[in-house]
Amino acid sequence: MDIDLIFKVAGIGLLVAVMYVVLSKSGREEMAMLLSLCGIVIILLMIVGRVSDLFSYIRTSFGL
């Protein structure tokens, strides 16, 4: 597995966190909540495939 994906997710997380704080301070709580939700969904979509790859890798490696 590539470590670039981890740093990509970390970058998205930092970006979402900063934008969440900016939107919250400017009084747009709904948009901040939607932004947080979108960030979580995007990152989940990115890693679900990797978790599936890991399980397949273990199954093929250990002869299950």
Partner 1 sequence: MSSVAAVCAAAAVLALIVSVIKRTEAGVGGVLSVLISVWLIYFIVQGILYLKNGMSVSDKYISAYLPFILKSAGIGFISQTAADICRDSGEISAGNKIVTAGKLGILTVCLPLIKQLLDTALGYING
Residues in contact with partner 1 by CB under 8 A are 1, 3, 5-6, 9-10, 12-14, 16-17, 20-21, 36, 39-40, 43-44, 47, 50-51, 54-55, 57-59, 61-64
Q: What contacts 36, CB < 8 A, 6 or more positions away? A: 16, 20
If the CB atoms of residues 1 and 27 are measured against partner 1, the closer one turns out to be 1
Of the pair 20, 31, the CB lying nearest partner 1 is at: 20
The dihedrals phi and psi of 6, each to the nearest 5 degrees, come to -65, -45
Least distance in angstroms from the C-beta of 53 to partner 1? 9
Max Cα–Cα distance, the chain, nearest Å: 55
**In residues, how long is the chain?**
64
